[in-house]
Structure 1
């Protein structure tokens, strides 16, 4: 699903269409892509750290993800690289997450003493196709 990690690009809002989830359009090497705030889609609180990585207006990085011609851009706070995990390393999502109306977490994996949510990409992109279009 991950296509590339890019430096930040200018986000061009679309009048009467842009909102907290759909941020606007981005031109990456001549290709116009839709920019989405995963933080707002997933209902996450901003990360509060000593460095200011929590600003979606001025993100540190952007990721391009999707399949074929259906690609999306997401401003992100951090990128640590691409890692592979064995399916046995994933634990089931807690009931409070998996029973939520829009549960995008498919499983939990521990990496560097932190718990990371593994997102259900099919549900995520299905939702984006229906909420934005």
Structure 2
């Protein structure tokens, strides 16, 4: 045996089954081979124990359990083919597709526009040096801005959602922001008949998300209402 090969062999007596947990990397590190090997996994004793573990006999119950596991049909993964930004106005959790969004901004008080009083138009806001018409979705959708409460273990901050419809961007004030949700289109349920009638006509469905029932807004109808505020 070559000298360097001899150094990799465990010394009699000091080494043996489980020596890595006594004098090796998980023990007191007193093994005289550690300095040369660096880690117990490079030692023949450690490798031999691993081979013995892999070669151990298995009982019938173990074989049956794994046979059942691999015989079971593969579960089809849900395809997440849609995404939306979820927010709250009053008591209502609502969403718009992420493709509409330009950015999210802190809430700011809009400045009134003289001689412009379109339905829902609150004024203009300056975000990053650019002016946006500020439109209250609550008024367009016929829902109350008051009410609702913050979700448990979450801070609640009013925001401005900057969205794009056709060639015009708008700032939409909301009471709370949940964030982006990716979901499978098949999860969207028909709106319940008990939903506010004014809001109902703007919904394409309802998305169950955690403890919320999120109303999915119809992009075309909402965009049309936003455009009307500037006419």
- TM-score normalised to the size of structure 2? 0.48
Report the counterpart of residue 5 of structure 1 in structure 2: 104
Report the counterpart of residue 55 of structure 1 in structure 2: none
Structure having the higher strand fraction is 1
Structure having the higher helix fraction is 2
Report the counterpart of residue 46 of structure 2 in structure 1: none
Between Structure 1 and Structure 2, how many residues are aligned?
A: 126
The counterpart of 1:121, out of the listed 195, 219, 223, is: 219
- Give the secondary-structure state (helix, strand or coil) at the position aligned to 1:128: helix
Check whether the contact 2:207–2:213 (CA below 8 A) recurs between aligned residues.
yes
- TM-score normalised to the size of structure 1? 0.79
Cα RMSD of the aligned pairs, angstroms, is 2.7
Question: How far is the alpha carbon of 1:38 from its aligned partner?
Answer: 0.6
Pick closer, same or farther for the CA change 1:40–1:118 going to 2, 3 Å: same
CA distance in 2, matches of 1:113, 1:90: 15
Question: How far is the alpha carbon of 1:82 from its aligned partner?
Answer: 0.7
Structure 1 gap ranges (5+): 52-58
Pick closer, same or farther for the CA change 1:102–1:113 going to 2, 3 Å: closer
**1:11-37: CA deviation from partner (whole Å, max 9, x where unpaired):** 111123136610011111221111100
Counterpart mapping for 1:1-133 below 5 A: 1-18=100-117, 21-49=120-148, 60-67=158-165, 69-95=167-193, 103-133=201-231
CA distance in 1, matches of 2:125, 2:167: 15
CA distance in 2, matches of 1:82, 1:64: 14
Structure 2 gap ranges (5+): 1-99, 151-156
